[in-house]
């Protein structure tokens, strides 16, 4: 569970929305069920939300709902993969994946002219991590292999990519969300990426 929570009352006041709007967006699957966290307080049971994620999501809904229908918006914000294929030139032109990351992939997997959404997602993740300087190309290969082999098993479920390093030795894993995971002190978490957030970000870029 996320440590930084916001109450439903605070959320409605801060974002200027009504109770009815909030639950309509929930029914339309714009806000995930698991974000509605019931907790006991001195006044009884209250509903809380992961603060950063709910504020970001409602901000996006308010900004975009005039341009697309709620159903289309729900599809865009869901963790399900899009059925789309893009040429590598478009990925570079739209700043989704850099030329460097495309060349990295080509050296590993061979020349590819078109990429399905799932592969675009993997390249987008690598691009972010290369750009941040947190991983080298050898570590990028480890992450790419993990995503290709293991991510399809999650099939629309929320999960997180965790990249770790200990004494110069790197590894990575995918874990289901929500969950809690703890490492011993000498293990350093270099990066932790929420896959649903990345899919949402990528869908918005492509759309």
Domain count, the chain: 2
| Sole residue written with tokens 């001195």 | 42
Same domain, 50 and 120: no
Domain range enclosing 68: 5-77
Q: To which residue do tokens 């709902």 refer? A: 65
* Contact indicator for 162, 189 with CB cutoff of 8 Å: yes
* Strand pairing report for 169-176 and 159-166: antiparallel
129 and 173 share a domain? yes
pLDDT of residue 1: 40
- Asked if residue 121 and residue 44 are part of one domain, the reply reads no
How far apart are the C-alpha atoms of 150 and 122, rounded to whole Å?
Answer: 12
Of 27, 59, 77, which residue sits at a domain end? 77
The last residue of one of the domains, among 47, 77, 107, is: 77
What number of other Cβ atoms are within 10 A of residue 69's Cβ? 10
Residues 167 and 116 grouped into a single domain? yes
**Do 66 and 101 lie in a common domain?**
no
With beta carbons less than 8 A apart as the criterion, state whether 11 and 49 touch: yes
100 and 164 share a domain?
Answer: yes
pTM for the predicted model, two decimal places: 0.75
Chain centre distance of CA 127: 14
Measure the CA–CA gap between 104 and 106, rounded to whole angstroms: 5
Q: Give the long-range contacts of residues 131-134, CB within 8 A, separation 24 or more.
A: 131/98, 132/191, 134/163, 134/190, 134/191
Predicted pLDDT at 10 = 94
Tell me phi and psi for residue 181, to 5 degrees.
-140, 140
Give yes or no: residues 199 and 120 share one domain. Answer: yes
- Buried b / exposed e over 11-23, threshold 16 CB at 10 Å, is beeebebeeebbe
Q: Which two structure tokens, joined as six digits, stand for 128?
A: 């972010």
pLDDT 10s digit of each residue in the chain, 207 long?
445 899 999 999 999 999 999 999 999 888 988 899 998 877 778 999 999 889 999 998 888 877 778 888 888 777 777 788 999 999 999 999 999 999 999 999 999 999 999 999 999 999 999 999 999 999 999 999 999 999 999 877 788 999 999 998 999 999 987 677 888 889 999 999 989 889 988 888 887
**What pLDDT was estimated at residue 3?**
55
Domain boundary among 22, 42, 77: 77
């Amino acid at each position: 569970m996320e440590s930084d929570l916001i109450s439903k009352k605070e959320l409605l006041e801060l974002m200027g929305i009504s109770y009815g709007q909030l639950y309509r967006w929930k029914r339309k699957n714009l806000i995930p069920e698991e974000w509605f966290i019931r907790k006991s307080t001195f006044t009884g049971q209250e509903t809380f939300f992961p603060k950063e994620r709910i504020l970001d999501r409602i901000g996006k809904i308010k900004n975009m709902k005039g341009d697309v229908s709620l159903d289309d918006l729900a599809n865009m914000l869901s963790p399900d993969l899009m059925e789309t294929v893009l040429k590598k030139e478009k990925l570079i032109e739209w700043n989704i994946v850099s030329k460097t990351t495309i060349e990295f992939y080509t050296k590993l997997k061979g020349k590819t002219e078109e990429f399905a959404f799932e592969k675009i997602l993997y390249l987008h993740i690598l691009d972010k991590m290369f750009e941040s300087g947190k991983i080298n190309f050898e570590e990028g290969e480890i992450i790419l292999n993990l995503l290709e082999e293991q991510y399809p098993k999650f099939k629309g479920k929320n999960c997180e990519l965790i990249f770790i390093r200990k004494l110069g030795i790197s590894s990575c894993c995918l874990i289901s969300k929500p969950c809690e995971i703890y490492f011993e002190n000498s293990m350093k978490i270099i990066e932790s990426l929420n896959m649903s957030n990345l899919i949402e970000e990528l869908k918005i870029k492509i759309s």
